[in-house]
């Protein structure tokens, strides 16, 4: 996954169960129902046409982030959070400056001056911690809103793909084992890319433009590359 969300705050991990995918898809009456998690023992499960016995995997977190819509919206959120990141960085710099002042000048100050400086450090530190927590919560809420919105539209695509390809179970590998349910799975059963491609085609959101590659300049201490197939230059010895 190439998209990188600027995180002065804290990384958010999205975890979605297969049951959530099936429930989301079955909420739409125009779609075939997802297979029941606990079918009756005497009744074969025929709720999803084409259901097979294969087990597939999908990294839901990666699928959301890798989709064109996900890249677009998370990049927009990253830019939106930049002023808050700058604000938190400035506040952190103030705290560090006061701490440094206390370390270097504390033993030279009288009791009242030192107590005042200590109080300033404590107050600023508490303000920083509260601000970081508030900003973290706000960022996570906005990230979750984006992820849930995309997942609601992606879930029916997953269910339909699974039915068409004969998968009976799709497991989420967003979290590695033992935090996640999958100990190991080969790439042949992973449907993440196929779902991302299908979602991009349905959403109609164009792929984000890639930044133009910057060619290195031949500055001091550098040498332009030789053409392909060229022999290295030889050095002519000085005349005797």
Say whether pTM exceeds 0.85.
no
Q: Is the dihedral of CA 65, 66, 67, 68 positive or negative?
A: positive
In a domain, 182, yes or no: yes
DSSP H helices in 52-191: 60-66, 68-105, 111-165
Q: Which residues pair with 58 in a beta bridge?
A: 172
Task: Supply the range of the domain harboring residue 181.
Answer: 18-34+46-203
- The helix/strand/coil state of 168 is strand
pLDDT (tens digit per residue) in 84-100: 999 999 999 999 999 99
Q: Write the pLDDT tens digit of every residue in 51-79.
A: 568 999 999 999 999 999 999 999 999 99
What pLDDT score does 210 carry? 78
The domain total for the chain is 1
Q: Work out the pLDDT band at 106, boundaries 50, 70, 90.
A: confident
Q: Are 51 and 200 in contact (CB under 8 A)?
A: no
Report CA-CA distances (Å) from 20 to 125, 128, 159.
Answer: 41, 37, 11
**Tens of pLDDT, residues 130-141:** 999 999 999 999
């Amino acid at each position: 996954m190439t998209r990188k969300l600027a995180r002065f705050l804290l990384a958010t991990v999205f975890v979605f169960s297969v049951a959530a995918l099936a429930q989301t898809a079955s909420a739409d009456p125009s779609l075939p129902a997802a297979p029941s998690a606990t079918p009756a023992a005497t009744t074969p499960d025929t709720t999803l046409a084409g259901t097979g016995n294969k087990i597939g995997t999908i990294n839901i977190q990666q699928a959301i982030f890798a989709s064109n819509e996900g890249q677009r919206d998370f990049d927009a959120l990253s830019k939106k959070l930049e002023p808050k990141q700058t604000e938190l960085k400035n506040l952190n710099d103030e705290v560090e400056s006061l701490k440094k002042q206390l370390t270097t000048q504390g033993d030279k100050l009288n009791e009242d001056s030192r107590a005042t400086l200590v109080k300033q450090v404590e107050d600023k530190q508490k303000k920083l911690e509260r601000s970081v927590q508030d900003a973290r919560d706000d960022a996570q809420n906005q990230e979750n809103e984006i992820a849930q919105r995309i997942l609601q539209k992606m879930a029916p695509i997953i269910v339909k793909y699974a039915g068409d390809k004969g998968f009976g179970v799709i497991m989420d590998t967003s979290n590695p084992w033992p935090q996640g349910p999958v100990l190991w799975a080969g790439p042949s059963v992973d449907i993440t890319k196929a779902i991302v491609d299908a979602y991009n085609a349905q959403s109609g959101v164009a792929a984000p433009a890639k930044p133009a590659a910057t060619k290195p300049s031949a500055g001091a201490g550098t040498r332009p590359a030789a053409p392909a197939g060229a022999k290295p230059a030889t050095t002519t010895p000085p005349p005797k």
